[in-house]
Each structure stands twice: as structure tokens, then as C-alpha cells.
Chain A
């Protein structure tokens, strides 16, 4: 019985020691090693606070307009947005280029 347990333990240890490239195994390994905050820490933060109104883009922007901008080569990386056309051009640019800026709307 003891020998069987020892063998099972050895096999388990052996299996456990196999490195895995599975993303879930990597995440579990990282979670095991994730550090906790040191005791008695105090953080002070400033300054931007707001409310995010999060929405699927299709519910705000017209789909065919975005398609027309993309097909017409009108996508552009604009630093500030003054018109609705600016919004479409910038959205399409970042949609395709995988960027994620926060852009000011000019009055």
C-alpha cells in the first residue's frame, strides 16, 4: 500500500513537473506567483475621474457610413475631432489599425 502510494505520488509529481505551453496553465502559474501588496501601504491618486458610457459602435455610428469611409480610403488618424466626418474617419482608422486613443471632441 505504501509502495503504491509512493509510486502514485512519484507519477503525479512527474506529471506535474512537465512544462506546459497551454495559456490556461500559464495563467494558473502566474496566479500562483502573483504578489500581494506589502502590509500598511498607502496610495494617493489624482486626478481624472469620469463616467464611461460604453456602447457597441454600431449603435452610435452608421454602418454604411463607416464602410464608405473605409472603401474610399478616407480613414485618418486625427488628433481632435470637429465634425461628424472626423469621427467616422478616425473610428475607421483605429478600428483597422488596432489602436485605442482617447480623442477630444472640439466644440
Chain B
């Protein structure tokens, strides 16, 4: 390509998430997880993968002799189209043009599922299903059905995260939800994908508030507007309303990671309970502010290509309001909350009679890079960083925390003390 600014880099949501997961993060320290990746990996992409990523082969060796290339047209915030001063880009962003053949083949998903079942995998991440959108609807549906059947029949205990990406076919988004949401645990998406998914599932913006639908009943919509989710001036209560609605539409989900330019939100629901009034089942996530913070820090540092310590006031700005209301719009009382360096993460719960348990939210404002070096792959990096800090090992016997223990940490101490005492007594008896 004869373009002075042209540069090539690793692409594809699964590959970008793998790269983030495999990299030691200077901000948080710690040891990076072990990472397995299966995909249609061509020679250039293969050379760009970190050596710490273990490639799980799929299909016939040599099938992917060529790389799939995505053309990414980047533009900066405030740029205007020539001759039309009013046609201004409100934010730095990009348009991605694809013409994939290899990524229409989901064989690597079968390979990675087999590897996850065979090994000590803690989290399976599925990304890239939007690449199937050009296929006929019936073909896509068969692929989703087969994938759902494979996940339902899995022998490993691992949790499953699905990273959504931009889609233009509401029917396909609804198919993904119908087939896969019942067999996955976690979902990641940005504000555009959130609004698209909500509408694809039949949700209605600007709906009359419903205070407390019956157990198992689905709200028709949310009181907030589409702009309150997708615009730069997004509103936290509306985002939370939408996330609770998604949980009510897909009660098997236990975690949603929402990431937009203004705010990041992690929402949890103790999936798998047996209805209202019962003790909430254990969360399969740490559900700590640190997971949310890891994602926000990754957004700023990846966009600016600098560590947090080197980013100062002149390099950053805030898009969302620091003064927020975190109350349920269907309930009269609203709780004012002001984000600051002392309270940078808000945490609250909303009741959901439809789910039988509370939905817990963690939210933080995002310090946005004024002059981003990169816009490509930020969402994948954010989701991967959040997952890395949120995941619980399902193999080392780390106890799962219940949502009750999140609200009452003393209960956790008491449980641990009781477990130690019981172990000691059992040892005495032997």
C-alpha cells in the first residue's frame, strides 16, 4: 500500500485479546496467565503473536498460507470533511473494511474447545463471530447451533466469555443471543453494541418505567433513551438499566463488561439460583473494583501508548460527568455519587424481581487520551484486562465467593475461619 501513514499490526479480536492476556501488565504487576489461541493464523499474524501465546493448531496444516488483511481507516477527533465544515468527527475512531474468506471458517473454535476440555483451562473466550455475518442466515444459524451444542456438552469446568463486536444484522445478533447466551457466563461489549443488542432482542428505549415485574417476567424496555447509552454524554443509570434488562433476558449470564468512551461498567448477577428468596449462588468472578480499574487503565495507556505514571493532565480528558446518579430510574430514590480520586469506582446494587436476586454494578469514569496513538483493538484490550483480573481459577480449589459475602466481608472471614477450624478438627481426628 502506497500510503505514508500505513502500518500493519496484529488484528482480529481473539488475537488481540490473547496478546493482552499474555502480556505482563506493568500497572498491576503479577504473573500473566497462560494463553492458548486457535485461529486462522497466517504467516504475518503468526510472526506478530507474542511467543508466550501457545497456538492450538486447527484444520489441515498449511491451510492458512495467507493472512486475512483488514483495512482500517483512522480519523481524529475534530477532523472535518473537505468543504463541509459541519461534517466533523466528534471522536477519534476508525472504519474497518473486511473481505475475509478464512475467518468464515469456525473450525478453530472446535479446536480450542477440544483443547479447553482436555486441559486445565479456566476461561474460554469466544471472539469474532461477527465475521460470519456475510454468510446466509441459515448457514450462520447452523454454526451457532453446533457451537452451542459443543458448549453444552463440554467436559471442562471453565467459564465462557463472549466478546461481541459491531454488527449490522439484528437477526444475527438475536440468533447469537438465542443460541449462545444460555451456555455462556460472561459478555463484553461497547456502547454501540449494547444498544444494537438491546434492540435486536426486542428492547424498547424510552419505555414507561416498570418498578418490579413479576418473577420471570421480562420488562418491555427501559426508561432511558438510546442517546443516553451511545452518545458521548452517556448516563450511568440508563447504562445500568440496559445491563439489568440484558440479564433479565439472559438469566444464565453472570457477568457483563460494558466499555464506552465515558464509563466502564462491570455488572454481576448470581446466575444459576433457584428463584426469589433463596441464598444467592456463588459468583464465578472476583467482582472486585480492581477488575474494572484494570480495564480503564488499559484503555488510557493503550490509546496513549504510555504507562499511567507518564500520563499527565494535559494528555487526558473526561467525557462523562463526575457527578452521577446511580439510582434505579424505576424507583423514586436516587443516590447521588461523585467520582473523584478518593472514590474512583462506584458500587451499587439494584433489585430484580424478575431474576430473583440483585444485580451488582461497578462503574468508573474513563480518563480519555486527548491525542490517541491507537484506536484499533482498544475494546478487546479492555475486555481482556478486565477478564484477567476478574477470573477465578476453577482448578486450584480457590473458593468461590457468594454475592452475600461481597456485601458483608465479615461473613467471608467467618467462613474461612470455620473452614480452617473444621480442617484442624478433621486433622485431629485422624
Tell whether A25 is near chain B: CB-to-CB under 8 Å.
yes
Chain B neighbourhood of A96, CB < 8 A: 87-90
Tell whether B410 is near chain A: CB-to-CB under 8 Å.
no
| Number of B positions contacting A (CB below 8 A) | 140
Tell whether A14 is near chain B: CB-to-CB under 8 Å.
no
Chain A neighbourhood of B396, CB < 8 A: 39-40
A45 to chain B, nearest CB (A): 4
Tell whether B30 is near chain A: CB-to-CB under 8 Å.
yes
Chain B 96-128 interface residues, beta-carbon cutoff 8 Å to A:
96-100, 103, 106, 108-109, 111-113, 115-116, 119-128
Known: A61-B73, A102-B70, A102-B98. A35 touches B290 (CB 8 A): yes
Interface residues as binary, B265-281 with A (CB distance below 8 Å gives 1, 0 otherwise): 00000000000000000
Best-surrounded residue of A63, A94, A98, A103 (most CB of chain B within 10 A): A98
Tell whether A6 is near chain B: CB-to-CB under 8 Å.
no
Known: A38-B393, A41-B34. A47 touches B127 (CB 8 A): yes
Chain B neighbourhood of A61, CB < 8 A: 73
Chain A 6-35 interface residues, beta-carbon cutoff 8 Å to B:
17, 19-31, 33-35
B104 to chain A, nearest CB (A): 10
Chain B 26-79 interface residues, beta-carbon cutoff 8 Å to A:
27-42, 44-45, 48, 56, 67-75, 79
Interface residues as binary, B80-95 with A (CB distance below 8 Å gives 1, 0 otherwise): 0111100111110111
Tell whether A3 is near chain B: CB-to-CB under 8 Å.
no
B245 to chain A, nearest CB (A): 22
Bound-complex Cα distance A64 to B418 (A):
73
Chain A residue at minimum C-beta to C-beta distance from B166: A101
Bound-complex Cα distance A40 to B131 (A):
32
B168 touches A101 (CB 8 A): yes
Tell whether B180 is near chain A: CB-to-CB under 8 Å.
no
A105 touches B99 (CB 8 A): yes
B38 touches A31 (CB 8 A): no
Chain A residue at minimum C-beta to C-beta distance from B38: A46
Chain A neighbourhood of B128, CB < 8 A: 46-48
Known: A42-B119, A56-B3. A49 touches B12 (CB 8 A): yes
A37 touches B391 (CB 8 A): yes
Interface residues as binary, B1-31 with A (CB distance below 8 Å gives 1, 0 otherwise): 1011111111111110110010001011111
State which of A51, A57, A79 has its C-beta within 8 Å of the C-beta of B10.
Answer: A51
| Number of A positions contacting B (CB below 8 A) | 71
Residues on A lying within 8 angstroms of B by beta carbon are 17, 19-31, 33-57, 59-61, 63-64, 66-68, 70-71, 77-81, 87, 90-92, 94-96, 98-107
Chain A residue at minimum C-beta to C-beta distance from B308: A31
Known: A31-B297, A46-B37, A63-B81. A38 touches B25 (CB 8 A): no
The 6 A-B pairs at the shortest CB distance, nearest first, are namely A35-B290, A48-B128, A36-B30, A35-B389, A79-B168, A52-B11
B39 touches A25 (CB 8 A): no
Known: A31-B309, A40-B395, A48-B14. A55 touches B74 (CB 8 A): yes
Chain B neighbourhood of A22, CB < 8 A: 313, 341
A86 to chain B, nearest CB (A): 10
State which of B120, B126, B343 has its C-beta within 8 Å of the C-beta of A42.
Answer: B120
Bound-complex Cα distance A52 to B311 (A):
27
Bound-complex Cα distance A33 to B288 (A):
10
Chain A neighbourhood of B122, CB < 8 A: 41-43
Tell whether B346 is near chain A: CB-to-CB under 8 Å.
no
Chain B neighbourhood of A68, CB < 8 A: 83
Chain B neighbourhood of A23, CB < 8 A: 313, 316-318, 367-368
B341 touches A28 (CB 8 A): yes
